[in-house]
Structure 1
């Protein structure tokens, strides 16, 4: 069954935007900084690396549809079903869950991904070990709905999560495991006695505590597998913020006030266990403000101001989180500007690339990473291990600092070369300052607050997505 030609591209674009808007809503004023010295050290290291890779990959890639959400019986755009089984939710769910019988990503080569990401200047990875549909991209002993129970099981790299984390770890990356707290496959969450009405648990956990305890134990056990059997892990990135204690629901946030039940899975117990296996582990319980959200994660959006708390924008390189046959990738200029904008405001960029059903990325994704890498090789000095510098972002300028050095990025329009004379907006440069352009030794003259760039230097630097002025 080929659904990849049936799902309209425009629908996918709109659902990505709508869902992102809903899940970016959050009050960050109650952020709680970690007190564990090992977690503090890990968090500081993570804030220095700035640029990471996220990958959404599962059996849904074979149909070329939005990840998991077509299973959700809500009347929302991102949940809309397509294809021959769309008229009947039960038939559709059965067909969806049978994709695994033919899922066989024979081109899976995580070493190529890791090298491409490293060359682009990325320094951490977060891999989707399980999305909301419950399909495990690791060899979990607590479910048969997993990658090692597909035609790919005979492949020596069948335990995909282990292979991905190992390949990236070998390239010096910090490693992270995305894990969905909701699981729409396990009967202890969507209990068949009560068919689901929406994304939430299909029964009231207070009325049926035995079922809920089964689900809590299942979740705990799968996370412990990931924390104990897959080498060193730096980040446990938990999605599905509607699974949360009732006391943490913010009634001022539209999507949270619709959560019908207390869905407390005992994060304190999970975090303690996880850190017993992975000391200093960063725990990111997304949107659940408190001690288990070590950094916040605005989705498909960038704050319009500097934020002092640790944060990361998770964004897609194209329009979709999951694989679609024809993707609309953002330009290199747009991606470089996005990275600079985020870093200047105090955040990290986690950029999503979606593998396809054969286990490979679009070639265009590799091209983008290669182009970003060429820019980072020259200008990464103003990105890594820096701190934001006031006025952060102003006009076409963005600022970071490291020690006594200020880095001023000029975000060029497409095809724009450096102007012969320009003034960094909102920044006062001392007359005694030494100013150069990254990758060029020529010391530039400062006249009446304006940086003057000789024609020869303009020609030597050439056209770039953004130009970095190093001010000492």
Structure 2
């Protein structure tokens, strides 16, 4: 298990993050609970084989190109550009973006094609973020994509068409859903002010209103898991909506206010309902460790240690989760290096890519994804269907292991770095007489073992051929 996760908020343009002090309250076990349902366990192991997925944040925040949802929260770390505009005026403007969101060129096929070319194997799509704007045709609120200028478009029920496009690529399908809903009168009640991210009234004094919210949440999750085809993953965000007894140091490190009461939505009932609709469905109740967090999701970072428990780093391709103008995208080489380290430590990489308000990926996003896919097409055997080993790293070399005991040694290379004539490592040595090859190359490489150290010779012809490679992968049979 990893001892500590880094949970960061992606911030763009008008919003910045400042750290706050940590306290201790209601500590709880961070131990992982492997699912006991055989169907869930089977799907979980299949998900672990996929290694690389795409997380798509898309909503009304794409219209002005600002951080998703967070700018409407009244917390100290939020800074808005216009200091003359009142908080209530800002919220009114933000809610009104619904009437401007008209993505006439929305093309889920372009997204799915780009993800497939990238070598991605699963999707997580934002059906609703914290701002409460629904990207599916829910029947429980009018605050949705199908009740605005886009409503008459043949693909107005966005989530349906996104799921279908990715399903046609044989990808696993995940539905992101925010447990808090800042637009709902049952969560942020207009009768009260909205001081922070939490429910803005005392649930103990207004149980009817909270029960209405719980029912609203259940109704929407029933819709998503009943009406949108096969869905493999329910990815629940907004970890402050949780039982008070589960608040721990990890939660307190966010610096967010903690109410004196639970914000429970009855996760046992949710799990029973969605798995009646979707047998074996994975549930990711993020940060609420226990039976409803089938895998962990460290955000914008990688744990320091390997874990044999299932986990996934969710990291943005650019600087923000959604679309923002002039975003700086990571080089494909950087993403490949992240993927190698994450997989070697036992995790999956969920890469965040935000479409424009018009419904398209930018050319720069598509080209990055294609470059990643070109590397995976040649070297994917060292990534997909592998598992981590205890001795996962030796210097700058990472290791993974295939299901038939084949071993892979993955060497990330920096821009302009020249391959040396001999590559050496000590851990995870090859079996005596084993052949060592580079993935994508047919010829075996010469290797020797001296004083417990493996030396693999790289001929000049190969060094020249791979001079600009972002990484190389050795394949061999381990001892």
- Following superposition, the deviation at residue 391 of structure 1 comes to 1.7
Unaligned runs of 5+ in 1: 1-9
Matches within 5 A, 1:51-450: 51-76=52-77, 79-83=78-82, 87-251=85-249, 253-254=251-252, 255=254, 258-260=257-259, 261-402=261-402, 403-447=404-448, 448=450, 449-450=454-455
Deviation track 1:134-156 (CA, whole Å, cap 9, x = no partner) reads 00000111011100111111110
Matches within 5 A, 1:35-50: 35-50=36-51
**Alignment partners' CA distance in 2, 1:43 and 1:211:** 36
CA gap 1:48/1:318 in 2 versus in 1, 3 angstroms: same
| Greater fraction helix | 1
**Alignment partners' CA distance in 1, 2:72 and 2:251:** 24
CA gap 1:67/1:352 in 2 versus in 1, 3 angstroms: same
- Following superposition, the deviation at residue 87 of structure 1 comes to 2.8
**Alignment partners' CA distance in 2, 1:270 and 1:60:** 28
Match of 2:473 in 1: 468
Q: Cα RMSD between the aligned structures?
A: 2.1
Unaligned runs of 5+ in 2: 1-9
Contact 1:298 1:313 in 2 (8 A): yes
Aligned residues: 457
**Alignment partners' CA distance in 2, 1:375 and 1:68:** 35
CA gap 1:18/1:453 in 2 versus in 1, 3 angstroms: farther
**Alignment partners' CA distance in 2, 1:301 and 1:252:** 15
Deviation track 1:45-71 (CA, whole Å, cap 9, x = no partner) reads 000000000011100111111100011
Contact 2:15 2:80 in 1 (8 A): no
User: Which secondary structure does the structure 1 equivalent of 2:74 belong to?
Assistant: coil
- Following superposition, the deviation at residue 213 of structure 1 comes to 0.4
Match of 1:3 in 2: none
Deviation track 1:226-283 (CA, whole Å, cap 9, x = no partner) reads 0000000000000000000111111564238842121011011111100000000000
**Alignment partners' CA distance in 2, 1:106 and 1:252:** 42
**Alignment partners' CA distance in 1, 2:190 and 2:14:** 31
- Following superposition, the deviation at residue 401 of structure 1 comes to 0.8
Which region of structure 1 is more displaced relative to structure 2, 252-261 or 433-442?
A: 252-261
Match of 2:30 in 1: 29
User: Which secondary structure does the structure 2 equivalent of 1:125 belong to?
Assistant: strand
User: Which secondary structure does the structure 1 equivalent of 2:391 belong to?
Assistant: strand
Match of 1:453 in 2: 458
